[in-house]
Chain A
Amino acid sequence: MSINLKAYVELDNATVHFPMHLDAHTRSFRYAITNILRRNGGSRRYHYGLKHVNLKALPGDKIGIVGRNGAGKTTLLRALAGVYEPDHGKISRIGKTVPLINLSMGMDPYATGVRNIELRGALYGMSQSEISDVIKEVRKFSELGSFLDEPIRTYSSGMLARLSFGIATSVKADIILMDEWISAGDSRFIERAEKRMEKMLSNDRIVFLASHSAALVRKWCNRLLVMEGGEIVYDDRNVSGGIEFLNKLLETTGKDDRDNVS
């Protein structure tokens, strides 16, 4: 970091709620006007994405986030990324943050691999020199060779995966937000990719990894959050204990519980 700050994340009573009253009717301006004229208030419904979440994270924390679909894992990542600003409570974050939430976002199939790295770097708010570092790294790691200067629509899916994996693991960041584990696809590549991930996770970063895989979380994380209904119901360094807690939670609350889409 240029100003020499220590990475730090804090959520203080953060609450995010989603509007549930936006359907075809209420999204219509015409309808809204006639409603005002008829003095018809209409009801507003909200759904908690995050509910009074408290959290502190320090450098070295590799935090796994688990929970059923719709428990608020991705919402938490998005709030940390600064996508959702909380309706109540506070979020503070110190450190360059890179959200690896939607890796295929912003890829232009007609642009070359290099240009796509530049585009992605721009989205992450990187400077020109940082971007050229990433290009060098990706050239070295991805083994795409001259394909990097071809439009990415000519890539095979494995090559595409290697490209986005290369970008994702080359970015310099103090805080990394991952939605599901990213992999390099190619089986020949898996070992190298694992090593690269290990390097990325081993230093003094803060990492958040939302995942459905207990094995991954057990392997990579040193702290676990279990989420349920937008709340953090478990937060401890005992990762195995957390996974047991989650399994119990999934059993006791039954299958009839509606599975919201996250």
Chain B
Amino acid sequence: MAEPTSDLSEIQLENLSNSDYRRAIGEGIIYQVGESSKWRMFINELATLRNDLPLLLWRAWLDIKARYKRSILGPYWLTIGTLTFVAGYSILAGLLFKRPLEEFLGYIACGVVTWQFIALNLTEGSRIFVANASEIRSVRTNLINLPVRLLLRSLIGFMHSVPVVLIVVAFTNVINWYTLMFIPGLALLSLSLLPLAAALGTLSSRYRDLEQLVTMLMQFAFYMTPLLWKAELLGEGLGKWIALGNPFYYALTVVRSPLLGLPVAPEVWAGAIGFTIIANIIGYGIFIRFRQRITFWI
């Protein structure tokens, strides 16, 4: 057998200050698994995430560049595609509901762009681990990095759409100080999408048909959420509750209303914060519980 060693690792680690230890974990210089609880492993994962954040931003940027390589408009293609749809539908909706075009154009543009941000995170989130299987199985991958990278990528995409949408809004609605409030709204929305994407990714690496289910449900939610229609138009009664009982309504409104230059009602903020808290508890709960198994499932 190899020559006996004193517990070299323990002696070395004892002499290490807490911040150095944290940093070494973050940089992947120290790696310890086994005795630590699942919660502890997740904390280590967050330390690594903090260390990797600039790298992830760079890779998210590369992802976008790779996707739109050889096209002059780049990420604006998505925006233009969306706006075509929005313009067409708005004309139709204006005629259908017998309202002026301005009432719908800005509203739908802001709503649909925000919705795309949500849908991208959840549908791609649900295949995030399966899609990166070869990387996960070849190098030590900080699993939470993958949904974070997806979130960063969709944030970059969203930020490309914002100026275009604001131009539309400038014609149909107003741009004022409320507009800036879309930033905290977007931050809150991002905070809730990250754990949801991580949890969906975890579950659908175990159950492969979940991915289709998520895509289907997002399509369903697209029509059930007041995006192409307004909650007020439903009047009182059941219709109103379809809108108000929908968590996406709150998550969406905290971004959409500011973009339209409108204040966000306190109860909507409350709803969005509540949604974020629940999404975090359930999302991270699932991810932390099954994180270790993901590598074996993919």
Binding site for B on A (CB under 8 A): 1-3, 5-6, 8, 10, 12, 14, 18-19, 22, 27-30, 32, 56-58, 61, 78, 81-97, 99, 101-102, 105-106, 108, 110-111, 119, 122-125, 223, 235-237
Could you say which residues of chain B place their CB within 8 Å of the CB of A85? 33, 41, 292, 295
Q: State whether the Cβ of B160 lies closer than 8 Å to any Cβ in chain A.
A: no
Q: Mark B269-298, 1 if CB is under 8 A from A, else 0.
A: 000000000000000000000001101110
Size class of the contact patch on chain B = 35 or more
Q: State whether the Cβ of B50 lies closer than 8 Å to any Cβ in chain A.
A: no
Contact assessment for A29 and B213 in the assembled complex, using a CB-CB cutoff below 8 Å: yes
Q: State whether the Cβ of B66 lies closer than 8 Å to any Cβ in chain A.
A: yes
Could you say which residues of chain A place their CB within 8 Å of the CB of B33? 82, 85-86, 90-92
Could you say which residues of chain B place their CB within 8 Å of the CB of A57? 2
Contact assessment for A14 and B140 in the assembled complex, using a CB-CB cutoff below 8 Å: no
Interchain nearest-CB distance for A48 vs B (Å) = 13
- Distance A30 CA – B208 CA, assembled complex (angstroms): 10
Contact assessment for A8 and B9 in the assembled complex, using a CB-CB cutoff below 8 Å: yes
Q: State whether the Cβ of B34 lies closer than 8 Å to any Cβ in chain A.
A: yes
Contact assessment for A86 and B34 in the assembled complex, using a CB-CB cutoff below 8 Å: yes
Interchain nearest-CB distance for B60 vs A (Å) = 11
Interchain nearest-CB distance for A198 vs B (Å) = 23
Could you say which residues of chain A place their CB within 8 Å of the CB of B34? 12, 14, 86, 88-92
Could you say which residues of chain B place their CB within 8 Å of the CB of A90? 32-35
Contact assessment for A236 and B28 in the assembled complex, using a CB-CB cutoff below 8 Å: no
Could you say which residues of chain B place their CB within 8 Å of the CB of A111? 66
- Distance A206 CA – B206 CA, assembled complex (angstroms): 35
Contact assessment for A83 and B140 in the assembled complex, using a CB-CB cutoff below 8 Å: yes
Q: State whether the Cβ of B69 lies closer than 8 Å to any Cβ in chain A.
A: yes
Contact assessment for B12 and A6 in the assembled complex, using a CB-CB cutoff below 8 Å: yes
Contact assessment for B138 and A101 in the assembled complex, using a CB-CB cutoff below 8 Å: yes
Q: State whether the Cβ of B232 lies closer than 8 Å to any Cβ in chain A.
A: no
Give the contacting residue for A91; candidates B32, B62, B296; CB below 8 A: B32
